[in-house]
Structure 1
Amino acid sequence: MFHQITTVLLMPVLIPQAIFINKMTVSLPEPTGERLGVCGAGNELKLLIIGDSAALGVGVDGQEDALAGQLSSLLGCYYSVNWKLLAKTGATAEDVLVMLHNQQAQVFDVVLVSIGVNDVTHFTHLSRWEKRMNVMLNTLVSKFSVKKILLSNLPPMQEFTTFPLPLRWWWGQRSKQLNNRLTVVVKNFSQCTNFDIDAPIEPRYIAKDGFHPSKVAYQAWANQAAKTITSSLDDINA
């Protein structure tokens, strides 16, 4: 209730700040490189990475330094990884649902999802976010027969100090709420795990726009995801 009241009271300030940030923030290019491939040796692992500009790897020059490149390389030490990247800058949960709808049905062993930051910045209602995440997970399980779904929690957005208050504070509060709703949704799906990304909001972990991950942050994210995936698949195959 407190957050709802403060949102209404602050909206005349939040919206102009959000518009100003959108105009003034440095727009980084998408990384070059393929968005699908095969690497490694061993049993086949079909991997899908889906979501927003962070999933896409914005913040680095090439896909080899982005989440998809680093994660597929790490998993390639254990599996023959057939990977695919399906992401776009500015994507919300609704946009991801459209992407999944437009994909032909196929089987993926593992899906890594990065979504939510744009739902915060676009002021997506909490109940709408929860509903879309439920539909997304149902779609991944029913249409793509996914064995394991990893959902990256939103970062602590109040710590992006290059952005002004009170918007930054509001972002932080809303990102916590979306994470809380996500935890509730995940409990309904045995295939799902959500986790905090082990990359603090510090200069070496942040790209030059002050917002997207750097190569070091993508490395930490990929390492964390790879460990979770390998241990999860070992449990499934045991």
Structure 2
Amino acid sequence: MDEYRVPRRLRLSRAIAAAQAPVLLPQGRRLRRETPRLPDAPLPWEGRVEGGGDRDGRDDPGGASRTLHLLVIGDSTAAGVGVDHADLGLGGRLAEALAARTGRPVHWRAAGRNGATARDLVRHFLKPALEGPTDLVFLTVGANDALALRSARAFRRDIRRILERTFAAHPEAALLMSSLPAFFRFQLLPEPLRRSLYRHSQALEREARLLVGAAPRAHMSPPPPPYTEGFFASDDFHPSAIGYKDWADFAVEDAWSVGFGRLLDDH
């Protein structure tokens, strides 16, 4: 099946998963045992892309455009799992897409941890990450909350705290949040684990969309298009260098299509 409909009865996603536990738990254990564990991208998780997306600045003739400061915070995708250089991960690819879109130099940095949930970000990473200059936050979280079957209420609470603390620290900043992964397209996931995980991720995503949609300087990406050939790294779970580029291009294109880019004009 190429597509699933958005699951009904999302409020029951945890209960349905609990009822399926005798099947889901062995599938999950086998998946963890058989799936290669890829490392984070090597440090530093930081870099700079010159205006226009050209690293030597030839496409930025003004040369004096104010640098846009990008913070990527989240889970394994913020940590660049799936690539062997951080510039090829989500932070570097987003910086390239933003520099090409705005013509401005972009300094990017990333914070987070492989396996992090939204609660982990709030407790351990958000405060120190926000201490640096920040014009745009890209939040990538939720996959591990879904895998851990965290409640939608707890996830909503943590997303609210991330939003509140981000804008308290940087009132003029903007925030983009990624949609959760389209787990129903992850071929390594067996059924019924694939469908159950997708159902619960949609329950979490719905809560996040309500919060992000109500924030005047925030936007959440729509569900991703079908993943292209080469999107996944060797573990068939995390993005490859191609996948991170596709993701970054999609997120920035969508954000600008709804006028989000205007929020950065004064930075």
TM-score, with length taken from structure 1: 0.89
What does 1:208-223 correspond to in 2, within 5 Å? 208-223=234-249
Letter of the aligned partner of 1:150 in structure 2? L
Letter of the aligned partner of 1:14 in structure 2? L
Match of 2:44 among 34, 51, 56: 34
Match of 1:82 among 107, 110, 122: 107
Identify the residue that residue 119 of structure 2 maps to in structure 1: 94
Aligned length: 238
SS in structure 1 opposite 2:214?
Answer: coil
Aligned-pair identity in percent equals 26
Identify the residue that residue 62 of structure 1 maps to in structure 2: 85
Task: Quote how far apart the aligned CAs of 1:2 are.
Answer: 4.8
Match of 2:183 among 141, 145, 157: 157
SS in structure 1 opposite 2:219?
Answer: strand
TM-score, with length taken from structure 2: 0.80
Which whole-Å CA distance do the structure 2 matches of 1:224 and 1:94 have between them? 27
Which whole-Å CA distance do the structure 1 matches of 2:143 and 2:240 have between them? 16
Task: Quote how far apart the aligned CAs of 1:15 are.
Answer: 2.4
Name whichever of 96-105 and 204-213 sits farther off: 96-105
Are residue 14 (structure 1) and residue 40 (structure 2) matched?
Answer: no
1:138-195 Cα distance to aligned partner (Å, 9 max, x none): 1111123352100000122122121222111101101111111111111221111001
Which whole-Å CA distance do the structure 1 matches of 2:264 and 2:96 have between them? 22
Structure 2: stretches of 5+ with no match in the other structure: 1-10, 52-64
Are residue 24 (structure 1) and residue 50 (structure 2) matched?
Answer: no
Name whichever of 80-89 and 3-12 sits farther off: 3-12
Task: Quote how far apart the aligned CAs of 1:4 are.
Answer: 4.6
Structure 2 CA distance for partners of 1:13 and 1:141, relative to 1, 3 Å = same
Task: Quote how far apart the aligned CAs of 1:44 are.
Answer: 1.9
Identify the residue that residue 232 of structure 1 maps to in structure 2: 260
Task: Quote how far apart the aligned CAs of 1:91 are.
Answer: 0.9
Are residue 167 (structure 1) and residue 190 (structure 2) matched?
Answer: no
